[in-house]
C-alpha cells in the first residue's frame, strides 16, 4: 500500500507502466466537476470510476481484495478512513473471490486504519486487503483501476 498526496504521484509512476496515465487523468481533470460514473483512460487496462458514498463506520467496513486490478483511490472531498491487512494474512473468507467482478471479501479485522483526506491517494495492490469507507462522513472519490498485466 502507498499513501501520499497527488503532487508526489510522479515518485510512484515507475511502479507500473500504466501509473503515469492513471495519475495524468487525476492531475489533468477537475474530478470534482465530472459526473459520477466510469471514464475510460486506456480501455480495460486503465479506467476511472467517480462516485460519492457515505461512510459505513469501522464495524460495517469489510476487507476487500482484487487479483486483476490495482486500485488507485483518490479523495476529492471528505475523508475516507480505510482499514488495511496483507491479503496473505487474511484467513476468514466472507465472500469468495468473484473473477467476473475481480472482488472478494474477508471477515478478518484490519491490522491498521489510515485516513485519506482530500487531495491524497492510496494505491492498493492485490497484496493489500482494504476496507474502504470506514469513516462516518460522505466521501467523494475517484478509483482508478489499473490492470496488472
- pLDDT single digits (tens) 102-123: 999 999 999 999 999 999 999 9
- In the CATH scheme, what is the code of domain 2-147? 2.60.120.370
Q: How far is CA 102 from the centre of its chain?
A: 13
- Residue-level pLDDT at 36: 97
Looking at residue 149, its pLDDT comes to 79
- H/E stretch holding 4 reads strand 2-5
Those residues with Cβ within 8 angstroms of residue 124's Cβ, 6 or more apart along the chain or in another chain: 1, 66, 70, 71, 73, 130
pLDDT class of 44 with cuts at 50, 70, 90: very high
Q: Parallel, antiparallel, or unpaired for β 112-116 and 80-86?
A: antiparallel
Contacts of 54 (CB under 8 A, 6+ apart): 133, 137, 138, 139
Domain ranges for the chain, please list them: 2-147
pTM above 0.85, yes or no: yes
* 119 Rama class: left (phi>0) / alpha (psi -120 to 50) / beta: left
Is the pLDDT score of 71 beyond 90? Answer: yes
Amino acid at each position: 500500500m502507498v499513501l501520499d498526496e497527488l503532487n508526489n504521484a510522479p515518485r510512484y509512476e515507475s511502479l507500473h507502466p500504466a501509473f503515469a496515465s492513471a495519475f495524468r487523468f487525476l492531475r489533468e481533470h477537475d474530478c470534482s466537476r465530472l459526473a459520477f460514473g466510469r471514464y475510460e483512460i486506456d480501455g480495460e487496462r486503465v479506467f476511472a470510476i467517480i462516485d460519492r458514498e457515505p461512510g459505513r463506520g469501522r464495524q460495517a467496513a469489510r476487507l476487500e481484495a482484487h487479483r486483476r486490478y490495482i486500485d488507485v483511490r483518490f479523495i476529492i472531498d471528505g475523508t475516507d478512513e480505510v482499514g488495511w491487512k496483507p491479503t496473505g494474512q487474511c484467513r476468514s473468507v466472507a465472500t469468495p473471490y468473484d473473477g467476473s467482478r475481480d472482488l472478494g471479501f474477508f471477515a478478518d479485522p484490519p491490522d491498521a486504519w489510515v485516513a485519506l483526506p482530500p487531495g491524497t491517494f492510496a494505491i492498493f495492490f492485490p497484496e493489500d486487503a482494504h476496507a474502504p469507507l470506514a469513516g462516518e462522513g460522505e466521501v467523494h472519490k475517484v478509483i482508478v483501476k489499473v490492470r496488472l498485466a
